[in-house]
């Protein structure tokens, strides 16, 4: 159900992707999700489907998502329709790890998947409600799971920043 792939992208593609992400503007979201209740449950987000990003960075929403999805699509010999793409930036604000609210990425009847790609190493994680499994944030590690699987961000204590790219998509047969 949860697929974990270390060294997901080639180093060249990973470097280009991170350079692109780090050059784009961030928007403050005072709550990571609807179940984030504490004041330190905030994130800076690049939502690639907003008009601001689409109008100022033509084609970024598609090119970034397709670059990220390409290894998975090739491996599984499928195509995909992108539902949402964004990057999340979490800042260390407390000295203990905290769960930031269980949520699902997309509430939909679609057979939607999430692909998360971690951009650096940290002791932060993604935790899944049903199994309690924690996937630790490691540079260039991808995790793929159903969008309707409840999960939460676990804050990091060992790095100032923790970043991941989040692509929600629907698989299509070739």
Q: What is the pLDDT of residues 98-108, one digit of tens each?
A: 998 999 988 77
Give the model confidence (pLDDT) of 51-60 as tens digits: 888 778 877 8
Question: Alpha-carbon distance 134 to 56, whole Å?
Answer: 36
Percent of the chain's residues with pLDDT above 90: 73
Total number of domains constituting the chain = 1
Question: Alpha-carbon distance 122 to 137, whole Å?
Answer: 5
On whether residue 38 sits in a domain, the answer given is yes
- CATH code at 146? 2.60.120.620
Rounded alpha-carbon distances, angstroms, from residue 121 to 61, 141, 163, 167: 25, 9, 9, 19
Percent of the chain's residues with pLDDT above 70: 99
Helix and strand element counts for the chain (H, E): 3, 10
Higher-pLDDT residue of 87, 32? 87
Sign of CA dihedral 73, 138, 88, 52: negative
pLDDT bracket for residue 34 (50, 70, 90): confident
Rounded alpha-carbon distances, angstroms, from residue 17 to 28, 33, 111, 143, 164: 21, 25, 27, 17, 11
Partners of 154 in beta bridges: 99, 125
Does the structure show a pLDDT above 60 at 174? no
pLDDT at 167: 95
Write down the mean pLDDT value for the chain: 92
On whether residue 174 sits in a domain, the answer given is no
Residue 94's H or E segment, with its range, is none
pLDDT at 173: 64
Q: Name the residue range of residue 71's domain.
A: 3-169
Question: Alpha-carbon distance 128 to 115, whole Å?
Answer: 14
């Amino acid at each position: 159900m949860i697929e974990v792939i270390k060294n997901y992208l080639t180093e060249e593609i990973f470097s280009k992707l991170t350079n692109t992400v780090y050059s784009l503007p961030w928007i403050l979201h005072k709550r990571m999700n609807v179940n984030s209740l504490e004041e330190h449950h905030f994130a800076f987000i690049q939502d690639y489907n907003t008009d601001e990003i689409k109008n100022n960075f033509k084609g970024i929403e598609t090119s970034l998502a397709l670059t990220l999805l390409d290894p998975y699509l090739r491996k599984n010999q499928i195509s995909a329709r992108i539902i949402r793409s964004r990057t999340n930036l979490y800042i260390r604000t407390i000295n203990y790890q905290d769960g930031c609210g269980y949520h699902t990425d997309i509430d939909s009847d679609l057979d939607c998947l999430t692909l998360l790609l971690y951009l650096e190493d940290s002791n932060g994680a993604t935790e899944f409600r049903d199994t309690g499994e924690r996937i630790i944030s490691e540079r260039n590690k991808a995790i793929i799971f159903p969008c309707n699987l409840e999960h939460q961000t676990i804050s990091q204590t060992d790095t100032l920043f923790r970043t991941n790219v989040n692509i929600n998509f629907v698989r299509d047969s070739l």
